[in-house]
Amino acid sequence: MDGLNSFLRYPLEELPFIFIVLVLAFTVHEFAHAYAAYKFGDPTAKQMGRVTLNPRAHLDVLGTILIFIAGFGWAKPVPVNRGRFKYPRLMGIVVSAVGPLSNLLLAFIGVLIVHIIMAAGLLDGASKGVGDAVEVFLTRLVELNLVLFIFNLIPLPPLDGYRIIEDLAPAHIRMRMAQNEQWGIFVFLLLIFVPPLSRVTIQPLFAIGNDILSGMSRFISIFI
């Protein structure tokens, strides 16, 4: 068991909670992309069965496994045909942004639930096991969704942040980006899997999550 724990990013006893949170986070994220694209006039995702909250339509096996090991991962990308949009660049930005924003919303809901539980004393009479289970689930719900929010906004292909930059860029810049996109993917993989590079690039970005969490808590405290 100790050897398996050292291989995994999270404690073994937390894996069921991590799995539930991942299924929820990935499903909502990809559904948000698919639903927005469909509403803006692109039926591609709808025709492929992606406008659904059924996790089986969205989960990627490798991307899900990697988050248990490395702390981050991905789901199946939603196919989007921007040529079907009335305003391709503007609507493309919205379609790209709603995925990460859905994870931010889930994190906010998690923080809100924590405040409600604490303010109402809903777990005061619960057993230690129930209290610990709720704490782990809500902690991971907030933590992982904040990670996915920040991670997906990194401006490297194939992440949503890259697609947003692509739609914002002038035409001549977009052409250069398209020509060099395959190299961007290699840069992305190097930043993830080479620890010295990851420590000075991607990992510091995740510290932003603490600031976002503090802001959420302060905002909710105004009302609860």
Residues noted as catalytic: 30
- DSSP string of 104-159? HHHHHHHHHHHHHHHHHTTTTTS-HHHHHHHHHHHHHHHHHHHHHHHHHTSSSTTS
- The gap between the terminal CA atoms of the chain, to the nearest Å, is 42
What number of CA atoms fall less than 13 Å from residue 214's CA on the CB side? 5
- Using alpha carbons, list the distances in angstroms from residue 115 to 110, 118, 125, 141, 143: 9, 5, 17, 14, 16
* Closest by CA position to 143, among listed 64, 221, 67: 67
Joined tokens for residue 209: 């999550």
Rg, the chain, Cα only: 19
Q: How far apart (Å, rounded) are the C-alpha atoms in residues 218 and 224?
A: 10
CB 156 within 8 A of CB 187: yes
Q: How far apart (Å, rounded) are the C-alpha atoms in residues 4 and 224?
A: 41
